[in-house]
Amino acid sequence: MHNAQCAPGVIFPLSSFGFRMAASTHSSHHAATHMHMHSDAHETLLQEFVAIRAATLELCKPLEIEDYVIQSAPFMSPPRWHLGHTSWFFEMLLTRFVPNYTVYSQAYLYYFNSYYEGFGARINRQKRGSVSRPTVQDTLRYRAHIDNHCTALLEHLSALPNATEAARLFHLGLEHEMQHQELLVYDIKYLLADEYRPLQIAPMPCARERVDGDVEFRGGLFELGARTDEYVFVWDNEAPRHTVYVQDFALDKRLVTNAEFLEFIRDGGYRNYRWWLSAGWDWVQAEMIEAPLYWERHDDAGGSTWYIRDYRGVRSADNHEPVQHVSYYEASAYAKWRGKRLPTEAEWEYAATLSPSGVKQAFPWGQTTVDSYHGNFLENNLWSAAEAGTFPAGTTAHGIWQMLGDVWEWTSSDYAPYPGFQTQFDEYNDKWFINQKVLRGGSFATPRASIRSTYRNFFAPTDRWMTSGFRCARTLM
Ligand SMILES: [Fe+2]
């Protein structure tokens, strides 16, 4: 089970930017009812603001000036754009909460808006790499300007008549910023892969045990989704919690590995229509797909060998790390080839949150806030997914591994509003409720403060530049 690239040793937090989420109790953020508690919560918000904004810049530090500007595919964003866009988001809050705030630049509003019709005209997303202004230096100046205004506002937040609403939206801005940190990891990988040198990269820890097989669950009524008082923050699309019926099912104890996916390739999986959804078969043929993204075939006299090129270098694909950078279609085809299927998001959440006594818990391991020993997140600095068996503290009561961290897991569920959904922020999550699939669990690129068992990520079925993997499920009859 061990590969040559891992290092023995204990897995403990390697770094953190000090942002903690209080999951087990009602947070002061929500429970704040009088002035004193407001001030504490606002002080924390200011500290989080400074730390999270700095973490975004840290990701970009190893970049050369040219790396910031180009857009090498329509689905990715130039790093310069991420730096400006996350600042633009906060500038929209400044215009709302700072009396007489003057917008920094109308031209920047045009360039750094992404898709918000409600905020006016914006550049065609696919053309963001085709203009060289604002320059990187201009963008960094803009970012510093926004930071100065935001910290000044947050220092005196309690004095605002609408302080609660301002705090809510600034926290939302930080969640948005963390989402863009993860997107930066995807986009820089697409630009540079092994040419990027992270400021910190930790040795890949060894798996401590071999993990195989699945766990059978008796179905029943299940409360799907988040209660908003359970976590410091939940996205609107995770709520409201509502009752669903889950049939008996079995879920794999771990993610599908590269070595297993290689078996599918060697068995001609990409060339056999039997395993593919119709639209997936069209996609494979039109795009001439024959392996996950970042896989390379090296041909020589002895045959062909598959390698993976990523932040951790180039190495054989025949390893036990979780497969990643597969589309929904590839995940679905593999599962069918194995005689299995992908889990629904209700099955995934059921397995991820069920305590031994059948009570729903906040996290797979219980109620404790996410930390680096629970799993593989951005702050672990591993820059890739780790083998199952590496983070024992992150397992569920039923012995399922890797539910949070490592890779986002495709589910078979369509991304749609839960019954009773109410948007909290127009155009953020609500307008994407069409033609996308739900992914669960976060990845090695996810800031750990931002992940929850109820978090619903979503991508189109052909997307695969994000850290997408999967595990299989079975129906029990
Ligand atoms: Fe955004």
56, 82 in Cβ contact below 8 A?
yes
100 CA → ligand 1 middle, Å: 25
467, 325 in Cβ contact below 8 A?
yes
pLDDT for 32 beyond 60: no
180 CA → ligand 1 middle, Å: 7
pLDDT digits (tens, 9 = 90+) for 399-441: 999 999 999 999 999 999 999 999 988 888 888 999 999 999 9
87 CA → ligand 1 middle, Å: 10
173 CA → ligand 1 middle, Å: 9
41, 357 in Cβ contact below 8 A?
no
For residues 365-372, give the mean pLDDT. 96
60 CA → ligand 1 middle, Å: 17
- DSSP sequence for 15-58: ---S-----SS--HHHH--SHHHHHHHHHHHHHHHHHHHHHHHH
218 CA → ligand 1 middle, Å: 40
172 CA → ligand 1 middle, Å: 11
258 CA → ligand 1 middle, Å: 31
pLDDT digits (tens, 9 = 90+) for 200-241: 999 999 999 999 999 999 999 999 999 988 888 999 999 999
88 CA → ligand 1 middle, Å: 9
Distance of CA 171 to the CA centre of its chain: 17
333 CA → ligand 1 middle, Å: 31
Longest dimension (CA), the chain: 75
The helix or strand, by DSSP H or E, that contains position 309, with its residue range, turns out to be strand 303-310
211 Cβ contact list (under 8 Å, min separation 6): 253, 254, 388, 389, 401
56 CA → ligand 1 middle, Å: 13
pTM across the whole model: 0.92
239, 257 in Cβ contact below 8 A?
no
406 CA → ligand 1 middle, Å: 23
- DSSP sequence for 258-295: HHHHHHHHHTTGGG-GGGS-HHHHHHHHHHT--S-TTE
State residue 449 phi and psi, 5-degree precision.
Answer: -70, -15
114 CA → ligand 1 middle, Å: 6
422 CA → ligand 1 middle, Å: 20
Give the count of alpha carbons within 13 A of 182, CB side only: 26
Domains identified in the chain and CATH numbers = 14-194 (1.20.120), 214-254+324-475 (3.90.1580.10), 259-316 (no CATH)
pLDDT value of residue 20: 33
